Amino acid sequence: MTTTLQPRWLDADQQRIWRSFLNGVARINERLEAELRCFGLDLGEYEILVHLSESPDRSLRMSDLADRVRQSRSRLTHTVARMETKGLVARMACPSDRRGVIALMTNQGHDLLVEAAPAHVESVRRALVDPVSPEDFAALGRAMDAVTAVQD
């Protein structure tokens, strides 16, 4: 049985909160994207740079990187190809697995991240951290962890 016979509808409060969630997430995304556009980046590209910068040798296997930034492998291939033409990342063969490809951040990519990061953090604060009370912010973290803990 894949569907319940009697749908468990959301009550008025739950529905209101669900819509607040949709609206809030959209607003946050808009602001972060708008801010990063000044640096010629979008959020997906920014996250790629962040994860590379935090990894040894500023490099990661493509599939590993894809998991961390929650992009499909296909999408990551396209995105990294574009970033490569911009000079932000480079690709090299993986020595231990000949199927593998290693993405690595260039100095230019690192410079751009260093340049964009303060403004990005500032927009995360303005869009989310500052307007929300510390208690509710902590609850938000617990809620999202619970969401992520659900197995498919």
Partner DNA sequence: ACAATGTTGTTGAACTGTAAACTTCTTTGC
Partner DNA sequence: GCAAAGAAGTTTACAGTTCAACAACATTGT
23 or 63: CB nearest a copy of itself = 23
Name residues contacting a copy of itself, limited to 74-93 (CB under 8 A).
none
Two tokens, residue 16: 């209101």
Q: Which stretch binds DNA (CB under 7 A): 14-22, 96-104, 129-137, 140-148?
A: 96-104
| Among positions 32, 36, 69, 76, the unique one binding DNA when judged by CB under 7 A | 76
Measured in degrees and rounded to the nearest 5, phi and psi for residue 93 equal -65, 150
Q: Tokens for 20?
A: 């607040």
Q: Which residues contact 40 (CB under 8 A, 6 or more apart)?
A: 86, 112
Residue 79 interacts with which of DNA, a copy of itself, none, CB < 5 to 8 Å by class: DNA
Q: Assign residue 70 a region: left if phi > 0, alpha if psi is -120 to 50, beta otherwise?
A: left
- The upper half-sphere exposure of residue 68, i.e. CA atoms within 13 Å in the direction of its Cβ, equals 18
Does 72 bind DNA (CB under 7 A)? Our answer is yes
CB of 69 to DNA, least distance (A): 11
Nearest CA among 32, 61, 25 for reference residue 46: 32
Partner whose footprint covers residue 92, from a copy of itself, DNA, none (CB < 5 to 8 Å by kind): none
Provide the 3-class DSSP secondary structure of residue 125.
Answer: helix
Name the one residue in this structure whose structure tokens are 């291939």: 77
User: By CB under 7 A, what part of segment 1-40 binds DNA?
Assistant: 37
By CB under 7 A, name the binding residues for DNA: 37, 42, 44, 61-64, 66, 71-82, 91, 94, 97-102
Name the site residues for a copy of itself (rule: CB under 8 A).
3-4, 7-10, 13-14, 16-18, 20-28, 31, 47, 70, 117-119, 121-122, 124-129, 131-133, 135-150, 152
